[in-house]
Amino acid sequence: MKAKNGSMVAYDGEMAFKKLSGGGEGIRGMVTRRITGEQMTVMEVRGQGTCWFADRASEINLVGLQGDKLYVESSNFLAADAGLRTGTSFTGTRGASQGNGLFTTTVEGHGQVAIMSDGPAVALRVSASYPLTVDPGAYVAHQGNLRQSFQSGVTFRTLLGEGGGEAFQIRFEGDGLVYVQPSERNTIAGDV
């Protein structure tokens, strides 16, 4: 199993913990993460027994993958089955609007991923008939065949301080799931 470094809170049985370089992706991953700024420190957990993980009293949500890819902010990643591959992917303006940078963490393969959110995450379905628009501060992760675009609601009134507080949004189109939290983290977009 891979887990966020230092996130073990208890275990029974016999366990061993080893820090993995490059977010569990080796030297290539370490170089990629340094260049992209998508920092994620993970540890390998091996042994027999049960291990419990937590971080900052966050809500933990399990996401099952069946050969598909999950895009998750590194700050929302808690743990993943050992057989799942992690990597980085370019997000463009979505990441920048969140204050998280231009890259995000990917997890792919067959198994389960534990993601964290501030309150229980809600999985919202996106389809061709029902695109979804999300506040960047509430976004946690997404999976499926989704296209994303950045929307701006900035007008002259916004610049005068009369905006509605929703200056930027992320629009998802296609087929998949978007995970949002019932809380908004501070973002660059939240200041406009």
pTM of the shown model: 0.79
162-185 as b/e, with b when 16 or more CB fall inside 10 Å? eeeeebbbbbbbeebbbbbbeebb
CATH number for the segment(s) 2-191: 3.60.160.10
**What string of pLDDT tens digits covers the 192 residues of the chain?**
999 999 999 999 999 999 886 554 555 555 554 555 556 788 999 999 999 999 999 999 999 999 999 999 888 999 999 999 988 887 665 444 444 456 788 999 999 999 999 999 999 999 999 999 998 889 999 999 999 887 665 444 545 555 445 567 889 999 999 999 998 865 544 444
